[in-house]
Amino acid sequence: MKCKPPILYPDHPMYTDAVDAMKRYHEAQASGEPAEEVERLRLIAESQFQAVTDYQLKALGGPAGPVH
């Protein structure tokens, strides 16, 4: 039986990095950055939040998607 990883708390760098990425995305939208840059930042933020979600699901014993 595999051990579950520890649960992440909101001050963990994985969380704070995802929140910072989302802020950069929203700031780029608000400042009128080119669409390509806004989309790039959106994909980064979405990816980081998905990683946090997948990790937490695994840590809590739930179904997590495949690890890439």
Q: Spell out the domain ranges in the chain.
A: 13-59
- Predicted TM-score (pTM) of the model is 0.81
Mind listing the pLDDT tens digit for each residue in 17-61?
A: 999 999 999 999 999 999 999 999 999 999 999 999 999 998 888
The answer to whether 8 touches 18, Cβ cutoff 8 Å, is no
More confident residue, 2 or 55: 55
Residue labelled with tokens 């929140």 = 19
